[in-house]
Amino acid sequence: MSELRVGLVGYGTAGAYFHAPLIHATPGLCLAAVVTRNAARQAEVAEKYGAAPVPDVEELWGRCDLVVVASPNRTHVTTATAALTHGLPVVVDKPLARTAEEGRELVWLAKERGLMLTVYQNRRWDGDFRTVRSLVEEGRLGEVLRFESRFERWRPAPKGGWRETGGAEEIGGLLYDLGSHLVDQALQLLGPVREVYCESDVRRAGVASDDDTFIALTHAGGARSHLWMSSVSAFRGPRFRVLGSSAAYVKLGMDPQEERLRAGMAPDSPEFGEDDEGSWGLLGTEDAHRAVRTETGSYLDFYRGVAAALREGAPPPVDPESVIDTLTVIEAARLSATQRIVAHLT
């Protein structure tokens, strides 16, 4: 069968590092066109991938079989809607939308048109999260009591750009950026949420959106998740600390795939998703613990899943309905932080 032609909307950080290399490395997919008006980026996509640079999304409709939306957050819904209306399946980078209701409308449109819609929640394929999930499913922690998860950085000087300087209309800030991953992982691991508490602040001058946020979730099963995202952490806490009734798992450091994508490593390289042995997490108790090999991370599995969904009718790699649940929690977190309340979900 001929390769599926992919049209990529946006070639900033998301498009250049998190989508284009993975699309290029996935059998059955071909990066055919990229929407960007930047001359240097136009030259890069043509030279690196043999893709046609185009200035506007309207030029994609006759050029591709799949649209990937990796443009700024405020454009996700309108661009995905246009692609679905033109009869094209869609991958949308997170967040899918600003609100759960907007997300539902996209899901309904895709179902009405009989088209695939999926969301790039790539952190489900982080090696450390896959390890946590395996430990929980195998019962090696006992009953999970508390799940602690962090994406923390030390960036006292803002980098600028719409994620930091844009207001609510840009859907910027860490709650929608890193929070989309942290909340999604918590829901995937521990299931539905009943209560949401959030503290969200802007700590740095010149920043308009949250850059230091904490969320506490109470899951329907009784476990609690504590989630941190910050740009002002001079010392990072553990990436994961999972406390169970019989053991705990503690993991430092970040999954290496993002760093390797940024460094230009091919995502189909054998070592791409392998964690360094010195970064393996510890399982057990304070008195008796051992290192546990981190499972291999594989962002490439997302796009392999996309190809399988379009070619073989397999389920999409990320069910968009599950992302509606994430957006519902994020909306509740915004409400909690604004009104200084615990938000209850029914």
Query: Tens of pLDDT along 298-307?
Result: 999 999 999 9
Reported as a pLDDT band with limits 50, 70 and 90, residue 94 is: very high
Neighbours of 269 (CB within 10 A): 11
Element (H, E) at 76: helix 76-85
Neighbours of 13 (CB within 10 A): 12
- pLDDT tens per residue, range 183-198: 999 999 999 999 999 9
The DSSP string of 19-55 is: IHHHHHHSTTEEEEEEE---HHHHHHHHHHH-PEEES
Contact 236, 150 (CB under 8 A): yes
- pLDDT at residue 168 greater than cutoff 80: no
Domain topology for 124-298+328-344:
Dihydrodipicolinate Reductase; domain 2 (3.30.360)
Q: Do domains 4-120 and 124-298+328-344 have the same CATH topology?
A: no
Reported as a pLDDT band with limits 50, 70 and 90, residue 2 is: confident
Domain topology for 4-120:
Rossmann fold (3.40.50)
> Across residues 36-50, what is the average pLDDT?
96
- Domain borders along the chain are 4-120, 124-298+328-344
> Across residues 273-277, what is the average pLDDT?
97
For residue 1, the model assigns a pLDDT of 60
- pLDDT tens per residue, range 60-93: 999 999 999 999 999 999 999 999 999 999 999 9
Which residue is associated with the tokens 């907007």?
Answer: 102
